[in-house]
Structure 1
Amino acid sequence: MARPSTASTTRRSPTIWPRRCAMRAKADVEAAIARRLRELAEVDGWANANPYTAHYLALHARSGGELAALAADLDFLVAADPVVLAGALGTGLDPDLPDAARTFLRCAHELRTHQPGERAATLLLTARQQGERLGLPRPADARWWCEWARSRPTGYHRVLEGHTGPVYAVAVAELDGEPVAFTGGGDSTARIWDLRAGSPLRVLEGHAGGVNAIVPGELDGEPIVVTAGGDATARIWDPRRGSLLRVLKGHTYGVRSIALGRIGGRPVGVTGSDDASVRLWDMRTGETLQVLQGHRYGVRSVALGEVDGTPIVVTGNHDASVRVWDARAGSVRFVLDGHTGPVRTVALTMLDETPVAVTGGAGARMLVWDLREGVLRQELTGHLYGVNSIVLSEFQGTAIILTGGDDAAVRLSDLRTGTPLRVLEGHRLRVRSVALGRIDGAPVAVTGAYDRTVRVWDLTHGIAPQGDDAHSDWVRAAALGSIDGTRVALTGGHDGTARLWNLDANEPPLILRGHTDWVRGVALGALDEAPVALTGGDDSTARLWDARTGEQLRIMEGHTDWVRAVALGYPDIALTAGDDTTARIWNIHTGEQLNVLEGHDGPIFSVATRGPIALTGGQDGTARLWDTRTGEQLRIMEGHTDWVRAVALGYPDIALTAGDDTTARIWNIHTGELLRVLPAHTAAIHAVALGHLGDTPVAVTGARDRTVRVWNLTDGSHYAIPFAGCTGVALHDRLLALTNHHGVAVLSLHPEAEL
């Protein structure tokens, strides 16, 4: 082995060795500070830690190489300033970090405004939703605590928040050697993020409409980033300084997409617009080089590439066509027909030495086209609904396709075979854009969605296998009760099953199979003192089950459309409602239909019953009270300005209604008088419940703003539980069941806690 020369060693040592020694000495000092602060906190108790320790210990520990060991301390994770700690931990891809640190990072965005008790509760809820064990004791100030959960685990990811509207565009690149993400959104801003730290670097403001596309690049050796917006402009920015370099004007409607490349050595940009045109730009001068016209409607996507030395532009259009253009001549080479709806995304690559385009759009299909011959090569599937974004690359030696869709999923698949490699679930609403990159050599996906979040996904590790007992799709509804002294939960979901869970034992659920489509409504009750379950679904039926054995006792048929909601009531009746605009009352002994409740002008989303009273809420924006004995409509409660999604009845003689106008309303059921409006949510409310905690009457509301709120109906105070995508709530004594697109969680509420 060759030795370094003496001259070389002598030349470097005066500068490098002192610098290394100084760095090592600084690290040693930081480590000593971190250890001492931790010792003091452990003596005093983390709950009483000095504010300096809570705020700065994570930074000292990171500088001193002590952070991985410190992050294994659950008490520290709860006591530390969540913003500072999240920044110190970064995106969580360091293999030395303990699992608890990654669990913290999964929910760090929810912890910023919480006190330690709520942080501990949120940390435990996150862990249990992933099937992880976390030995956290319940703090005295925790107003709620996760007792049990069954959810589909999701791949590890970090959530980045900052956009105040949907995230329409994401891209990944290196800026001065550091991995960064670029994002654009409906809030008219573009943002640059430090991917290693998971923190924002810069906000680019100037567009007068949503930022629909964002592409990083290089111009004359300097980094640039180009954005396309709803204000009919594309803009070139200096990403280092955040300054605007040039505005590209020419389109007459919003610019939907942009691509960068070179034609004949000249740096060019290509934009597609709602004005049905495609423009080629000289990126140095901002001059329009060419306008490509031929599409009849808005151009949703563009890509720039080459086929056998000829530069091409491939465009996807709202008219369902894909066009391949000769970028020099401005002529159309091929029109590719095959999609049945708008083409939203186009990506180019070489596959087996053949130039191909992959396109996706309003349908769930993705089409792979041979760009030499202009013919369809293959079709890929996987998403349930439309595909909004496609990225092509190589992953672990395999040609892959990364996609984001209207089903809120991100899918990583083998491009040749379509075989799924990863399904990344975590976004609550449709995924608009996806990108691939690396952080310290580790492959990551970066995604943006209508839920206003950017997510950074670890692609190195697979997703933990799902247990056989969890629902395999969204969970829509829950009910709580007890059977023979055992606490139970009943859930129904998109997998067409209802499941009865023993909350007091770790055992598989009793699975109720019979529905042939989604199960949307569930209820628990009794028939001749025997426990029964009632379910309703999209197969237009309601079904009654023996809750001890799972035997199907009865099918109630009569609805002509989806059954969205069910309830069991006195005396021995079932109440069902759905999209055929009716609610129906059934004798559960015989299955006989007793009454049809007609009056709503549209689908009925929710039902409740108490004594001889039934309450329904529907798409017509009203809630209605009915006499279950006669079927007579007693009262119409009007005041909501949008769909009424959820209703509940409670003591003393009150009704709770809520819906898409973001409000929940309390009514006197005898007079129809509006007693109170609960206005705290910022998005549609999909689920409600009424009950008591001790002597305090409470309401629970679950909304699309990522919160479930528990209200003290005596004084109107409330607190929030972070829970994304709530689809159902159930309240029984001190237990609260919550459902969403991943599964179900059951919390215990502290009756003495201050609401």
Structure 2
Amino acid sequence: MSRSTDPGHFFQTTTYLTESARKASKSKNTFGNPLKLTSKILAVAADPENNNRVYVAEAAGATSEISAVYTGPAAPLTSLYISTHSNTLFAGCWDKSIWSWSCSTRKPAQRYQGHNDFVKAVLCVSVHGREILISGSTDASIIVWDVRTGDKLHILKGHTRGVLALAIDPFTLSEPTVYGTEQAKASDEAIAFFSAGSDREIRRWSLTSVSASEVPSAPESPSPILSHDTSVDALRFDADGDLWTASADKSAKCLSRQQNWEADTELTHPDFVRDVVVDEEGGWVVTACRDEQVRVWEKGSGKLYHTFDGHFEEVTGLVLLSGQRLVSVSIDATIRQWSLKAPDLEKARKEAENERLGNEKEQEGNKESLLTEDEERELAELMDESE
């Protein structure tokens, strides 16, 4: 007996049908010059060799076309990191491993296996000339690997639930970092990196070429850091060394280094916040939300400045390119690009306001048109009698 997978052959609620119709209609918009792929996009990273290109979960795409496809994993990819030290692309996967490819040949390289559940976060750093891979998993562990040999160097425990995000502390590096690329080399001292997960905890770790351990708690700097009510999905450092976080408690926060990682800014959202990036040149903080929106906030005041509306499903990742260009990706399978330059943002704000006013007038007109001529005449007579 044949079985259908067509949703139209099954019972569907009115709410589901209404929402499906809304998304189908919204999917036709061209805001952000969308590049359409074939599947959901869960991760994005900047290409360190080309300012006009990004890597996403299954393809490396320019703003107008896919330029390369990296194959191998049969399960979804969750996270990406590009090492300029070895010219290697790393990807965390649902199959419990980290895949890697040579960026120059696009051929599969080392595969790192050792986690017991989905790999949700990966990053790389060169420690005293030794390239180190760090991975976080929903098995609640962090593994430190030797990139060249594939050996597990350390298994770090502390989180009680899945590890969802990792970030290297740039103030413990001898060279500045760029998120998503391995531009950093460790100083003569230990480097520090931060982890966060679905247990709402943010933990700090110390790493050298021969050891790795959690930074002990101190009265002036307690550990773990507990700034959110639930899962923390993203960690990003800004130029001041402060830590920006994105959480499923519907907020993004800035944890101040000078205040021992206490939150000094909170950006409130209507739904889960999936990612956050900081545009230092423009003074903006940008957030990705499950409600399909990309929001631009004033970094200094924490005020919402503009909302980019284009995606029609949850926004899963953000990345900044040169020239104040923002790229967003979503499970709607589109990559979109937005300008954060002040004149372009102001133009976008005015266009959004004009569209809002136009929609309000249209809705008002629709309400008025619900009455027939006889009903309008009767209503007018009743109004006259009441005077």
Which TM-score tier does this pair reach, normalised by the shorter chain?
Answer: 0.5 to 0.7
CA shift at 1:291, angstroms?
0.2
- Give the equivalent residue in structure 2 for 1:85: none
CA distance in 1: counterparts of 2:192 and 2:37, whole angstroms: 36
| Shift in alpha-carbon separation, 1:164–1:354, aligned structure 2, 3 A | farther
CA distance in 1: counterparts of 2:289 and 2:23, whole angstroms: 12
CA shift at 1:302, angstroms?
0.9
| Shift in alpha-carbon separation, 1:200–1:359, aligned structure 2, 3 A | same
- Give the equivalent residue in structure 1 for 2:43: 213
Q: Secondary structure at the match of 1:295?
A: coil
Moved more, 407-416 or 248-257: 407-416
TM-score by length of 2: 0.62
What letter corresponds to residue 225 of structure 1 in structure 2?
A: V
2:360 is the counterpart of 1:360: no
What letter corresponds to residue 262 of structure 1 in structure 2?
A: T
RMSD value over aligned CA atoms?
3.1
Q: Identify the match of residue 424 of structure 1 among 258, 263, 267.
A: 267
2:279 is the counterpart of 1:437: yes
CA distance in 1: counterparts of 2:51 and 2:251, whole angstroms: 35
| Shift in alpha-carbon separation, 1:201–1:355, aligned structure 2, 3 A | same
2:232 is the counterpart of 1:394: no
| Shift in alpha-carbon separation, 1:462–1:276, aligned structure 2, 3 A | closer
CA distance in 1: counterparts of 2:116 and 2:169, whole angstroms: 27
Q: Identify the match of residue 61 of structure 2 among 237, 248, 262.
A: 237
CA distance in 1: counterparts of 2:38 and 2:80, whole angstroms: 15
| Shift in alpha-carbon separation, 1:404–1:164, aligned structure 2, 3 A | farther
CA shift at 1:379, angstroms?
2.1
Structure number having the greater strand percentage: 1
The count of aligned residue pairs is 264
Q: Is the 8 A contact 1:442 1:460 kept in 2?
A: no
CA distance in 2: counterparts of 1:164 and 1:314, whole angstroms: 38
Q: Identify the match of residue 317 of structure 1 among 116, 137, 140.
A: 137
- Give the equivalent residue in structure 2 for 1:379: 224
CA shift at 1:284, angstroms?
2.1
- Give the equivalent residue in structure 1 for 2:169: 349
Give per-residue Cα distances to partners, 1:484-515, cap 9 Å, x unaligned.
xxxxxxxxxxxxxxxxxxxxxxxxxxxxxxxx
Larger Rg: 1
| Shift in alpha-carbon separation, 1:308–1:400, aligned structure 2, 3 A | same
Q: Identify the match of residue 227 of structure 1 among 56, 61, 71.
A: 56
Q: Secondary structure at the match of 1:379?
A: coil
What letter corresponds to residue 294 of structure 2 in structure 1?
A: V
What letter corresponds to residue 356 of structure 1 in structure 2?
A: A
CA shift at 1:308, angstroms?
2.0
CA shift at 1:393, angstroms?
2.6
CA distance in 2: counterparts of 1:351 and 1:340, whole angstroms: 27
Q: How does 1:120-269 map to 2 (within 5 A)?
A: 200-208=31-39, 210-219=40-49, 221=50, 223-228=52-57, 234-239=58-63, 242-263=64-85, 266-269=86-89
- Give the equivalent residue in structure 1 for 2:286: 446
| Shift in alpha-carbon separation, 1:366–1:281, aligned structure 2, 3 A | same
What letter corresponds to residue 374 of structure 1 in structure 2?
A: A
CA distance in 2: counterparts of 1:717 and 1:336, whole angstroms: 65
Give per-residue Cα distances to partners, 1:224-258, cap 9 Å, x unaligned.
20101xxxxx200123xx21011111112000010
Q: Secondary structure at the match of 1:249?
A: coil
Q: Secondary structure at the match of 2:74?
A: coil
TM-score by length of 1: 0.33
Gaps of 5+ in 2: 1-21, 173-188, 216-222, 305-362, 372-382
- Give the equivalent residue in structure 2 for 1:300: 120
Q: Is the 8 A contact 2:48 2:84 kept in 1?
A: no
Q: Identify the match of residue 407 of structure 1 among 235, 242, 249.
A: 249
- Give the equivalent residue in structure 1 for 2:353: none
Q: Secondary structure at the match of 2:169?
A: strand
Q: How does 1:79-98 map to 2 (within 5 A)?
A: none
| Shift in alpha-carbon separation, 1:449–1:267, aligned structure 2, 3 A | same
CA distance in 1: counterparts of 2:111 and 2:88, whole angstroms: 13
| Shift in alpha-carbon separation, 1:304–1:164, aligned structure 2, 3 A | farther
Give per-residue Cα distances to partners, 1:16-71, cap 9 Å, x unaligned.
xxxxxxxxxxxxxxxxxxxxxxxxxxxxxxxxxxxxxxxxxxxxxxxxxxxxxxxx
What letter corresponds to residue 431 of structure 1 in structure 2?
A: V
CA shift at 1:413, angstroms?
0.9
- Higher RCO (C-alpha 8 Å, min separation 6): 2
- Give the equivalent residue in structure 1 for 2:151: 331
| Shift in alpha-carbon separation, 1:200–1:356, aligned structure 2, 3 A | farther
CA shift at 1:309, angstroms?
2.0
| Shift in alpha-carbon separation, 1:421–1:285, aligned structure 2, 3 A | same
Q: Secondary structure at the match of 1:218?
A: coil
CA shift at 1:269, angstroms?
0.9
Runs of 4+ in 1 over 4 A off after TM superposition: 715-718
- Give the equivalent residue in structure 2 for 1:137: none
CA shift at 1:460, angstroms?
2.2
Give per-residue Cα distances to partners, 1:381-436, cap 9 Å, x unaligned.
211111011112323xxx211001011000001246112121111x2111111111
Q: Secondary structure at the match of 1:245?
A: strand
CA shift at 1:202, angstroms?
2.1
Give per-residue Cα distances to partners, 1:269-295, cap 9 Å, x unaligned.
110000111012111221111100001
- Give the equivalent residue in structure 1 for 2:308: none
Q: Secondary structure at the match of 2:109?
A: strand
Give per-residue Cα distances to partners, 1:186-210, cap 9 Å, x unaligned.
x8x9x9xxxxxxx9442121232x2
| Shift in alpha-carbon separation, 1:340–1:284, aligned structure 2, 3 A | same
Q: Is the 8 A contact 2:61 2:67 kept in 1?
A: yes
| Shift in alpha-carbon separation, 1:442–1:334, aligned structure 2, 3 A | same
Q: Is the 8 A contact 2:140 2:159 kept in 1?
A: yes
Q: Secondary structure at the match of 1:211?
A: coil
- Give the equivalent residue in structure 2 for 1:457: 297
Gaps of 5+ in 1: 1-162, 166-186, 192-198, 229-233, 465-709, 719-751
Identity %: 22
- Give the equivalent residue in structure 1 for 2:218: none
| Shift in alpha-carbon separation, 1:374–1:205, aligned structure 2, 3 A | same
